[in-house]
Structure 1
């Protein structure tokens, strides 16, 4: 496989602990003690063992800088719990992090418009209607006559009939007009005065790991997309990749939606708006418009990023219905059905009802995205990740087996789930000459992380020989020597390289790793 044909080109993944929950952009370290912990039994354990001043819960992410990525691969990664910020693709450690960040997706079939949102639509229609009329015929748009799609019709018709308001899709590239709006939005709406330089804006909302040809697109793609309101039932658009949708009113840029068009839907990354238009409720309108858009272009889902049940800034997403990702199985469950399980910022793991309790972490599938119902399943979070759960003992016993094959993972302290343990560098299995990198804890992944491949599955790959799939397929680029090479025999690689490869496998799966290029 040629370098240009790689599904993903990435730097070594890192496990980043920011020191305390005060660095969290969501809770700012102000959560109640009962909401800091992902599992009830660990909450009770730490409350009994430690004074409140010592009960620190960290802000933790697992991320990788990605230089090249196919849109299809990123679509899969979204359904594994990943998100992107520019070229950084990341997820959180749902077991140890201060907040539980659940991937949420929805569509019009899962959404019942509330009185509040109906009022927003009527106000928006009135604001952009040249005659100030908030009543727009709802049967004028092809393909959407039923009452459940009324908000789609109202928005689309109002925009088609407006002479003062329009939006335009274009490549996700830097312009001074967008940057100036971003600075104004961050300062006034978020009281953010740091990180507002043009380069920061470009890295955050313009750069992406997708090939330049995808970023730029072609004139036909953009024309199709900008004509989305006029599509008939049997028509669609071909656009895949990043885009900026620019909102204009009376010739002035008033908002920018930063989006990714994916095979399975539309992913919302960020939305900025002019504070002068605060009464327009543009944030709520943008979500409704984007739900209308996926219906018109026949994409199944609207990905709204992360949902945090106890965060006021993120709770609004529940108003749009939808389903949450169970990171331990990569299956989706209806938000309303799992809400009792996540109350108090808790983690949930759904498992089919059986007499026997799980004896280890559940099998993690890397063919994600399927929807399941809660009926016939139990929340087995305590049985697996609780203080007396099966995960720790199983993972620690597997670590000794992995060590015999030159693969190092830290033992999980049995009575301290918040600790990730340390690798024993004196272990005779590891050559002194191959310790490079072990001193940097960023590359040492914990033995147990929900949403990462369980160690028992990794061990099975080694035992049944399926790990050989990466041989002569996975490529490595050494940044020090400039050497680009294929992995010929995984078993003959040094311990540090094995560790990095296993970390990538745990993150994105064996098949995807075999088609990757890792920058060392």
Structure 2
């Protein structure tokens, strides 16, 4: 079994769905008549991605919005506050039927997959985040800060209310005698006549917040010093590992939390092989589901509300896209499905140790609606020149200065898969498999060596020798 591909060459100057440039997009593509999971794994590790049977690779230094392949490391993943919010919202809806549709915005769309939308389902990017009441262009840290600020302001308002109620209670619990005017101390003024100097001055919410923050820092400093002292002086008093109670909740703790017996809704999942160029494989040392493309169906009370498409490959689960019923957009199904797929990757890893990554498609730093993928930490970006993985934290400063960046800091590093022997490339010509040097002798008409060399450079030496390049 071998992959059979038909290289279509570069496609230049077509509309970009990210920046709306009418002719700024540039990519190379090929049609996959069939493809092994091993070859597709190798291709996505060189910046390729599939949409149905069409496999494409952006020309990174020419396209208007460079699209960097991004992968998450599920084994070290911890859900953020915004992720936990989505998981808790789903659990609350399932267990109690409670939800709020009013303030939810529609999740942004991955325009690369527009052609796959069907009927009543709205096609969305697998990981697109719904930003409740906040614009998508906000930075992740700003989102978290706004959440903390909102909580603090609510707490301050509550404290001020309790403070006022407390003073009112003290006044009502006095001796019952009418108040007297003491020389030098004015009596309680009438409403609108000025401040009551017999009470402590009113504190501004900003001052209360600063004081609370200062106290928290002092308390944290004291706690850290105490822990350091205990670690240094009395190591025998500390357990070798954190107890379950002190550990942050994992993604499984949220997703697989047991629903009450009288839960308002039931959410079920089914998984089926689906049509794709990838050839399904079930090797003995592979995952129980095997390798290939799958539909993950989300059933709510017997009604299908979403379908996710994923590729299970030798080293990763690759997210393709998600259909969902727009009536349930308030559940942030794009985020929820991504978190479930991260948990699914962790499950597959238990059986197949080398399968340990979750590929999220493309990260586009210059497009606000596509930067959210960087919030799934830890994650890496693929260097577009040397095809090595670099932690996203190291890439972001460079991306702030330039849309296109080489992430590998080793200036001497090169593409280890660059093609040195084009003659070893395999060709399918007139229903016969042959190396390129034989094909050249049989070829009629003008030479196509330039386009074949271009194809080989894009797929790399290994794939050029394994895959069959169809030539007519």
TM-score (norm 2): 0.61
- Could you say what secondary structure the match of 1:336 adopts? helix
Q: Could you tell me which of 476, 487, 493 is aligned with 2:428?
A: 476
Match of 1:306 in 2: 362
Match of 2:222 in 1: none
Per-residue deviation, 1:208:
1.7
In 2, the alpha carbon distance for the partners of 1:310 and 1:335 equals 15
Per-residue deviation, 1:468:
4.0
Q: How many residues align?
A: 317
- Could you say what secondary structure the match of 2:374 adopts? helix
8 Å CA contact retained: 1:159, 1:166: no
1:461-502 residue CA offsets vs partner (Å, 9 max, x unmatched): 3xxxx44434xxx23225xxx676554546746653323331
Per-residue deviation, 1:273:
1.4
Match of 1:91 in 2: 57
Match of 1:416 in 2: none
Q: Runs of 5+ in structure 1 lacking a partner? A: 30-55, 134-143, 173-206, 222-233, 367-452
Mapped pair 1:128 → 2:94? yes
Q: Could you tell me which of 273, 286, 290 is aligned with 1:171?
A: 273
8 Å CA contact retained: 1:259, 1:268: yes
8 Å CA contact retained: 1:130, 1:164: no
Per-residue deviation, 1:160:
10
Match of 2:348 in 1: 297
8 Å CA contact retained: 1:475, 1:517: yes
Mapped pair 1:209 → 2:160? no
- Could you say what secondary structure the match of 1:306 adopts? strand
1:75-114 residue CA offsets vs partner (Å, 9 max, x unmatched): 1111111100011111101111000100000023554432
Q: 1:27 to 1:344 in 2, by over 3 A?
A: farther
Q: 1:288 to 1:236 in 2, by over 3 A?
A: same
Mapped pair 1:102 → 2:68? yes
Match of 2:339 in 1: 288
8 Å CA contact retained: 2:365, 2:403: no
Match of 1:243 in 2: 294
Per-residue deviation, 1:130:
6.0
In 2, the alpha carbon distance for the partners of 1:258 and 1:160 equals 30
Mapped pair 1:498 → 2:453? no
Q: Runs of 5+ in structure 2 lacking a partner? A: 100-243, 350-354
Per-residue deviation, 1:170:
1.1
8 Å CA contact retained: 1:236, 1:296: no
Mapped pair 1:151 → 2:258? no
Match of 2:227 in 1: none
1:333-390 residue CA offsets vs partner (Å, 9 max, x unmatched): 111121011125522214455xxx76xxx52123xxxxxxxxxxxxxxxxxxxxxxxx
Per-residue deviation, 1:64:
0.2
Match of 1:330 in 2: 387
TM-score (norm 1): 0.55
Higher Rg: 2
Per-residue deviation, 1:515:
2.4
Q: 1:160 to 1:17 in 2, by over 3 A?
A: farther
Q: CA RMSD in A?
A: 3.1
* Residues 297-306 or 336-345, more deviating: 336-345
Q: 1:97 to 1:516 in 2, by over 3 A?
A: same
Mapped pair 1:62 → 2:17? no
8 Å CA contact retained: 1:106, 1:301: yes
In 1, the alpha carbon distance for the partners of 2:293 and 2:260 equals 24
Report 1 or 2 for greater relative contact order, CA contacts < 8 Å, sequence distance ≥ 6: 2
